[in-house]
Structure 1
Amino acid sequence: MKIAPPLQVLIPAGVILPLALVLPGLCHGGGWELIGAFAEAALHPSLDPVVVDSLLRGLGVTVGVALLSWCLSLLLGLLLGLASSRLIWSTLSGTALPAELLRRFLAIPRSIHELIWGLLLLQVLGLQPAVAVLAIVIPYGALVARVISDQLDALPDQTLKALLSAGSAGPAALLTAMGPPLLPGVVSYGGYRLECALRSATLLGVFGLGGLGNELLLTLQSLEFRELWSGLWLLLAVMLSLESLIRALRQRWGLANRFGQAQPGVGRQGREILLLLGLLLPLMLAISHSLGIEPAALLHWQPLPPLHSQHWQEALALPWGRLIGNTLLLTVLSACLAVGGAPLLLLLVAPWRLAQPLLRLLWALGRLWPPPLTALLLLFVFKPGIWTAALALGFHNLGILGRLLLEGAESCSGAAEDALHGQGVGARVALLYGRFSALARSYLAYGAYRSDVILRETVVVGLMAGTGLGTQLQESLSSFAWDQIALLLVAYAALTLVGEDLSDRARRRLL
């Protein structure tokens, strides 16, 4: 017997049962009044001109860092992606060995979360605006390189072979045959990376690298919930505007969404994309100047203290089994809550059309609300630990996966769902076996990829909720124990690389 694909998307939601049993024991009794005040403040954000002016300046820094890091990471990723393509090396030199070596090397920077990069660069470069930009560019550039090289190697090469057989030079044949089919995927993926850059810039601000994230953290710690919600509503407006712009451009240019479904549009690209690229250069220069980024300041590194054998012995004596086990358990719980929670919530509200806008708003707040701030808010009423961290991380990724599922459901044909409705089937069952049937495997495949991302994000909530490798990383950074930090980075890199391999295998099997 095999489980039907629509039901497979609900299996991860089974983690809600043990959560319901454990959650009452995690409550410590105090803080519910603060949660109530936090919820009430959402309807009455502060409109004080001084507060709004401070938030707008922080928002400007966050958006500037996101745009600059996004642009640089795309440029870096495009160059590295072409350099790590097996197809390009095989065409130009007859061997793909350099591509394989570069791919393995790029796995290291992308396996380390941008927050860790930010904290490390902060130690060696000091507090300067370029730290936040570099912290995003390094892992994002490696991620973009992987996607571009994979897309390029997966394209049909019949046209390329024909041009080479006709006597065309290798570079010219590659540009002519592979450039046009590669461009839509690069542009579509670049739009998604811009949304991620905005979230990452906000997250880095929470940990002291400036911008709106720092303002949000200070207002939460001082319990100024009205000021906090002023910043959240501003950030939500920017995020939704950005998502709408990307969606409109994707439809205008006829690009595919993350389910591989082509968007309705006329496929206009060419001149408009070139015009957009031409406008980016002066915009990036203006942002760099306004942020006060000085490239020469990056050459002045603070030396790290020497490491002694005694320190390495102390680092090896850490409880590695418990730390790694808690990190893996946190990943599984968060991934199950996010992957299974999105379709379950959609099914629950299916009969009530008016409830769907509220669900969209909840998911939008989950996407923009940084997980460490969610963990701090949950600590008002829950004890620190794995479940509290899983709730914080699961809520954030639930917003991302929920939006993805809605995009896919709206792009799918509703014929099967309408046919089930016509036969008297209820709204929930019609949605489950109508639309979810077509989306199940691709949604689970993206959920496997998101699980790999969640593994990297465990460091974010671990710093706040006191669990996993993130907690030890915070202690090691506070005591400048670089031997421990080095081993923690190796552990994180190894875990994320193994998780990346497992998620790739799961996606190939599903798709």
Structure 2
Amino acid sequence: MPAATSASELRRPSVGSRCAPWLWTLLVLLSCEVCLRLSGAELGKLFDPAGVANARDILGGLLHPDLSADFLHRVLALSVESLLIGLLGTVLAVVIGFGLAWLATAVPTLPDPPRQPPVLWRLAASTLRWAARFTLGLLRAIPEIVWAYIFVRLLGLGPGAAVLAIALTSGGGIGKVWAELAEAVEPRGVQALRASGASRAGVLAFAVLPQVRRPWVAYALFRLECNIRNGTILGVVGAGGLGSEIALSIRYFQYDKLATTLLAVLAFVVVLELLSLQLRQRPLRWTLGLAALGAVWALLRLDIPWADLWQAPGLSLLSLADLRPDVPFVTTVLGQTGDTLMMAWAATVLSALLAFVLAPLTVTPLLTASYLSDPPRRPLLSRLLRQAAKWASRAVLQLTRAMPELTLALVFVVWVGGGPLAGILAIAVHNMGVLGRLYCDVMEEAEPGQAAALQTQGASALGTYLFGVLPQIQARLAAFTLYRFECNVRATVMVGFVGAGGIGDALNTAISLFHTRDLSWLLLTMVSVVALVDAVGDHLRGRLLKGRHVQSVHTAATALPATPSHPNAFT
């Protein structure tokens, strides 16, 4: 008996380990308050009389969309253009991502190879792999709107700037994830081909690709959904699509037209998610065939002056010839960088809090069903209220996830004025939907044993969640939240282009006025900060998930929500 008691005591968590998550939560909340204060974001502006009047005007217009035939025809034409922009941009991104991922992937070697390649060959291969990874990180670090603004200067107004912007940023993201997936494959098949003398290309083609084909396609389809949504907003800088109509509607206070346009965006997102889910369940040839047809249609329909890429004088926008530090300017850039990071962190914490409350309401076993095989039957009124809460929460998360940050930033700039608060609110609202979706998927995957034991003892839904589900998943929730912070750093840069604070405003000014030195400094700063945040995030997520049999959180945080392995994921 004493030995058993001793083993039980060893397994029992200490008071410190039980309190640690709550202490970390308190520190995170305090850091959010500090970031709000230092960035100058005053939440009281939401309830300022002028702001409330603006919000009332926006809401009044949104409740009465413009359904006139002429405007609906215009929205339909712009929707098709946004669809083709996202589709063609994704096809080009897949080409870029595949080429760079092929070069960036490190193929496992035999523990004791019979012969080694020459030293110079190994050095050249290592250098090429490093260059491919650096290029992927560079492309991924620059938000689409920055590329779009640059390409508008090169190609002029139109969809070409949006297509190329999506292709570059998304190509970097796709290549990075695909390379990570390729390096995480089961090594035995790779080593068997290595032992038979197969080349690197042969190993990748016959041992790696068969293992990663499905997750590669799943992630590419997810990026397609994101890119079509992005294609609807890049028009705010003159890059075609629905974004131009969104910007005009807000600029001229035509909120009824804004409502119609946002409804089109929402319909886009829902239909695309349903289509993506169907394509994941069908053979690969369906996806490839539809992608090829869509790309051909886009090339024929979109007016893109490809030849101007090589003739445009705007290529001199970036200049490394004169990067002598200007102390006042560098000080300003560092301050704007700090504001960007604080805005992203505050938005991430606020959205995580809201998602933490709403996500459990969408989990079927927690709210409307049970972890027990034979649960007690609830009263009719209780069942109806629980169903209403579940579907209302899912609708809120879907709606907020469908609205791009840039669109929300334009709305909040009208509501509370320009500055950091508008950017924080825009990113927090959108990120709440994304995190809510991720949190819901993780909660649905929790092991039912502990939760069922609590429900057997009569625990409420809240008690089951806090003590039966949350202890299993808290590390993954924290890891997903960190990943979203990395994404929100780039989103903060983007919303700055419409006056919502951060370093994006300075980028906008530098591009508009052709200040090449300032633009070069700003881009170098932004790429360095994003790379540093990504590296720190990767390290922290690895620590959080150490010992867990899960894939890379970056992959899971993007491809997870809509994969077939999550049948309860809502759309």
- State if a TM-score over 0.5 links the two structures: yes
Maintained 8 Å contact 2:497/2:507:
yes
Displacement after TM superposition at 1:395 (Å): 1.0
Displacement after TM superposition at 1:3 (Å): 4.6
Q: 1:178 to 1:4 in 2, by over 3 A?
A: farther
Cα distance between partner residues in 1 of 2:350 and 2:162: 30
Cα distance between partner residues in 2 of 1:9 and 1:202: 38
Displacement after TM superposition at 1:312 (Å): 6.7
Equivalent AA in structure 1 for residue 208 of structure 2: M
Could you say which residue in structure 1 is the equivalent of 2:256?
226
Maintained 8 Å contact 1:28/1:381:
no
Maintained 8 Å contact 2:107/2:200:
no
Could you say which residue in structure 2 is the equivalent of 1:130?
160
The correspondence of residues 430-449 of structure 1 with structure 2, limited to 5 A, is: 430-449=464-483
Q: 1:479 to 1:163 in 2, by over 3 A?
A: closer
Could you say which residue in structure 1 is the equivalent of 2:17?
2
Cα distance between partner residues in 2 of 1:348 and 1:465: 35
Displacement after TM superposition at 1:492 (Å): 0.5
Greater mean alpha carbon deviation, residues 85-94 or residues 386-395: 85-94
Q: 1:190 to 1:433 in 2, by over 3 A?
A: farther
The correspondence of residues 169-180 of structure 1 with structure 2, limited to 5 A, is: 169-180=199-210
The correspondence of residues 275-286 of structure 1 with structure 2, limited to 5 A, is: 275-286=286-297
Structure 2 residue 68 is matched with structure 1 residue 48: yes
Greater mean alpha carbon deviation, residues 312-321 or residues 194-203: 312-321
Equivalent AA in structure 1 for residue 475 of structure 2: R
Could you say which residue in structure 2 is the equivalent of 1:403?
437
Could you say which residue in structure 2 is the equivalent of 1:483?
517
Q: 1:465 to 1:363 in 2, by over 3 A?
A: farther
Equivalent AA in structure 2 for residue 500 of structure 1: D
Displacement after TM superposition at 1:309 (Å): 6.0
Cα distance between partner residues in 2 of 1:106 and 1:295: 23
Maintained 8 Å contact 2:486/2:534:
yes
Cα distance between partner residues in 2 of 1:417 and 1:449: 27
Displacement after TM superposition at 1:402 (Å): 1.1
Cα distance between partner residues in 1 of 2:466 and 2:21: 6
Cα distance between partner residues in 2 of 1:185 and 1:309: 44
Maintained 8 Å contact 1:28/1:383:
no
The correspondence of residues 249-268 of structure 1 with structure 2, limited to 5 A, is: 249-250=279-280, 252=281
Cα distance between partner residues in 2 of 1:48 and 1:148: 45
Could you say which residue in structure 2 is the equivalent of 1:459?
493
- TM-score between the two structures when normalised by the length of structure 2: 0.78
Q: 1:466 to 1:378 in 2, by over 3 A?
A: closer
Structure 2 residue 181 is matched with structure 1 residue 151: yes
Maintained 8 Å contact 1:312/1:483:
no
The correspondence of residues 325-336 of structure 1 with structure 2, limited to 5 A, is: 325-336=338-349
Structure 2 residue 372 is matched with structure 1 residue 361: no
Could you say which residue in structure 1 is the equivalent of 2:413?
379
Structure 2 residue 194 is matched with structure 1 residue 164: yes
RMSD: 3.1
Q: Select 1:112's aligned residue among 138, 142, 157.
A: 142
The correspondence of residues 160-309 of structure 1 with structure 2, limited to 5 A, is: 160-250=190-280, 252=281, 272-303=283-314, 304=316
Unaligned 5+ runs, structure 2: 1-15, 111-115, 368-385, 546-571
Displacement after TM superposition at 1:141 (Å): 0.8
Displacement after TM superposition at 1:473 (Å): 1.8
Greater mean alpha carbon deviation, residues 373-382 or residues 13-22: 13-22
Q: Select 2:88's aligned residue among 68, 71, 93.
A: 68
SS of match in other structure, 2:313: coil
Q: 1:106 to 1:499 in 2, by over 3 A?
A: same
Cα distance between partner residues in 1 of 2:525 and 2:322: 19
Displacement after TM superposition at 1:232 (Å): 1.4
- Name the count of aligned residue pairs: 492
Q: 1:96 to 1:155 in 2, by over 3 A?
A: farther
Displacement after TM superposition at 1:444 (Å): 2.0
Alignment identity in percent? 25
- TM-score between the two structures when normalised by the length of structure 1: 0.87
SS of match in other structure, 2:418: coil
Deviations 1:161-210 (A, max 9, x none): 12232344543343222121111220121122112112221221222211
Greater mean alpha carbon deviation, residues 13-22 or residues 175-184: 13-22
Could you say which residue in structure 2 is the equivalent of 1:474?
508
Cα distance between partner residues in 2 of 1:418 and 1:9: 28
